[in-house]
Structure 1
Amino acid sequence: MQEHDLSFVRAEMAAVEPPPTADRGLVSWMRRNLFASATDTIFTIIGIALVVMIVPPLIQWAFINAQWTGTDRSACATVAQGGNQPDGWSGACWAFVDAKFQQFMFGRYPVDERWRVYLAAFLFVILLVPMLAPRVPRKGLNAILLFIVFPIVAYFLLVGGAFGLVRVATPLWGGLMVTLVLAYVGITVSLPLGVLLALGRRSHMPVVKLVCVVFIETIRGIPLITVLFMASVMLPLFLPPGTSFDKLLRALIGVALFASAYMAEVIRGGLQAIPKGQYEGADALGLSYWKKMNLVVLPQAIKLVIPGIVNTFIGLFKDTSLVYIIGMFDLLGSVRQNFSDANWASPQTPITGLVFAGFVFWLFCFGMSRYSIFMERRLDTGHKR
């Protein structure tokens, strides 16, 4: 047998070569994402120009020229306006935000009783975090504590009047506390109520379907301001003499019903996206209507419409500022209310307060948006290859 020369055969695997220089590093990333085509290059140049035009003046106003400390308007007014700043000065008046920060957070809630607000916020956070974390066990118990037990505990903590706690009337509430209360109740009520309305609108029972359709189309056909006016002004006219509801409670009901109508349409879109075979498969297994919905249809439908659900939540959170129209002072309302304080009347006070309120709203909305993206990626398993 003829022997073969194996000296040219590799005896071990070749070492992994690094990618070409042109395909890695900052230059490669810019080539792929910013200058991949002529259109991308044009939009990149326009974007850079806008950043150069907007960001440096904004930094100058918000940080470099800003006034961080002060006890009255003189800290944020020019000499010509009766203040201490040089003529032509323009900067953020963060001293105003610092001086009014407690009012922006709590309104006129008594200072000695604000520990109750802190305790309620602490309980909310320690219940919310494990609810949002995917791998934490006992979600059912967590949901019961967050959505059933916590509202009762928070009510007695914030309102008082029992267990030795001083009663604090809701007209004294304000600031971010009212914004979060409205948003929490609206979100907690609108999702399950929206699911029921969506199922009712697709029901084969004519009366149930008609009631749900009329409710959804009526609420969606009028602005939230009208709903709040109806709840605040018109509702007491239809009640028996001597009967009245707290204004905050009326606002909570109005916001929750308004959001539930929009939520119902979002959920209905998810229900219509489920293939007919899923319904038929559940029927073939002998599942009842509610088991079919809870175990087969709704989990798939809700997963499909997570962006729409979160979009409704974000819109609800921002719409809470409309309660200012009916005499309630949420975060934005508290900021605007303090513009009338003569001790802080200066040209820079309003814009600084509004920027602060906008930033707080953005923080919460951005947080909800990012968590929505996280959940979409985690649950997006049906179409992966």
Structure 2
Amino acid sequence: MTTPTNSTFRTEMIEAREAPNQSRGVAGWLRANLFSGPINSVVSVVVILLIARLIWPFLEWTVIDANFLGSSRDACTGDGACWVFIASRFDSIIYGFYPEAARWRVDIVFAVLAVLIAWLAVPRLPQKKWVVLFALIGFPILAYILLLGGHFGLAYVPTRAWGGLMLTLTIAVVGIVGSLPIGILLALGRRSKMPFVKSICVIFIEFWRGVPLITVLFMASVMLPLFMPGNIEFDKLLRALVGIMLFWSAYMAEVIRSGLQAIGKGQNEAGQALGLSYWQRMGLIILPQALKLVIPGIVNTFISLFKDTSLVLIIGLLDMLAIIRAGLTDTNWLGFSTEGYVFAALVYWIFCFSMSRYSQYIERRLNTGHKQ
């Protein structure tokens, strides 16, 4: 009988290793990321000084030397920003030309939308399915009745009186909610084995991706009525919403198609082996995985859509940025354009940054090993 050799066993002591870093909090993060070595420390200090050199004058202008109280440009006496301009036109920036007596209806819609978003964003809150159902069916009906009026004794408010942040959010929400399902159907159709369906989807996607959004809005507002019967009139806002949904659904389709192509064919074959139909395989196996992989691309499309809502000015709809620009033409506020554009940029950044951070949170929750 042969005796086993000890060649597979370690005969020497393992060298001592450094103790794990136990530092936590802000100091630990700074030491690990900004001051981990001499070169890293020097670069961090230089960058911090450059940022401070650029940010401090901006802080002086926006906060320290700024004027916040007053009702006219006479209240702006310093060298800082005159936020009195924003305060004096805040109502029009939010509501546009919506009648003042009916603005409580807009407030209710804003409040319900905020509650729905918070309910869906907080994981511990119950009854998510019912909330989603209300958000997709009940909330649009409620918003339509409250904003447009003409029912249940509410005064009718035409869409030409809509404007400001209210109009921006209306276009963004409708565009986001409408473009996602249309994009999913287009992505599935482009990957279909039926030549007719695939050809229609390819032509649709390539056509809308090859046309600028400004052209789409112009065609929807000016050219479309020329091809309609004289007794039929489409609302200008409705035409813009349809154009935006169709335009961004083409981009959404390509984002989702990239996720579908990332799923191996074995997933589909496994569904076929279980006897599942095409739509069951897509809804239960393929799409959940594909959508999870392309969350960054989907949210990036949503952010682009939200920022492009400002293009509706080309067809005479005054969104938040257009309302601010219109206020700058007032002779009493000439020379305060910087404050208006900075405020608009801040509002756009808040919404876009919120969508970006929430998408990262969703990615972390749904991560099942794809993260490198």
Amino acid at match of 1:146: A
Amino acid at match of 1:260: S
Distance 1:53 1:261 in 2: 44
User: What is the aligned-residue RMSD (CA, Å)?
Assistant: 2.0
Q: How many residues align?
A: 354
Match of 1:113? 102
Q: CA deviation at 1:28?
A: 5.6
- Report the 3-state secondary structure (helix = DSSP H, G, I; strand = E; otherwise coil) of the residue aligned with 2:89: helix
1:80-91 to 2 correspondences below 5 Å: 85=77, 89-91=78-80
Does 2:323 align with 1:338? no
1:103-128 per-residue CA deviation (whole Å, 9 max, x = no partner) reads 00000100000011011112222222
Percent identical pairs in the alignment equals 55
Does 2:246 align with 1:238? no
1:296-324 per-residue CA deviation (whole Å, 9 max, x = no partner) reads 00000001111111111111111101111
Distance 1:371 1:22 in 2: 29
Question: Does the aligned pair in 2 maintain the 1:190–1:263 contact within 8 Å?
Answer: yes
Q: CA deviation at 1:69?
A: 1.8
- Report the 3-state secondary structure (helix = DSSP H, G, I; strand = E; otherwise coil) of the residue aligned with 1:293: helix
Q: What TM-score results when the alignment is normalised by the length of structure 2?
A: 0.90
Match of 2:292? 303
Distance 2:39 2:192 in 1: 50
One of 151, 157, 170 as aligned partner of 2:146: 157
Question: Does the aligned pair in 2 maintain the 1:128–1:146 contact within 8 Å?
Answer: no
Q: For structure 2, list consecutive stretches of 5 or more residues without a partner in the other structure.
A: 1-18
- Report the 3-state secondary structure (helix = DSSP H, G, I; strand = E; otherwise coil) of the residue aligned with 1:66: coil
Question: Does the aligned pair in 2 maintain the 1:216–1:262 contact within 8 Å?
Answer: yes
Distance 2:198 2:231 in 1: 36
Q: CA deviation at 1:325?
A: 1.5
Question: Does the aligned pair in 2 maintain the 1:104–1:334 contact within 8 Å?
Answer: yes
Change (3 A) 1:59 1:375: same
1:199-218 to 2 correspondences below 5 Å: 199-218=188-207
Distance 2:314 2:160 in 1: 14
Q: CA deviation at 1:151?
A: 0.6
Match of 2:58? 58
Q: CA deviation at 1:24?
A: 6.6
Distance 1:275 1:34 in 2: 41
Does 2:253 align with 1:264? yes
Match of 1:67? 67
Q: CA deviation at 1:38?
A: 6.8
Does 2:356 align with 1:377? no
Does 2:342 align with 1:355? yes
1:236-291 per-residue CA deviation (whole Å, 9 max, x = no partner) reads 11111232211111111111111111110110000000011101100100100000
Change (3 A) 1:143 1:20: closer
Q: What TM-score results when the alignment is normalised by the length of structure 1?
A: 0.87
Q: For structure 1, list consecutive stretches of 5 or more residues without a partner in the other structure.
A: 1-18, 77-84
Q: CA deviation at 1:20?
A: 8.9
Distance 2:172 2:21 in 1: 51
Does 2:166 align with 1:177? yes
Segment of structure 1 superposing worse, 19-28 or 39-48: 19-28
Match of 2:209? 220
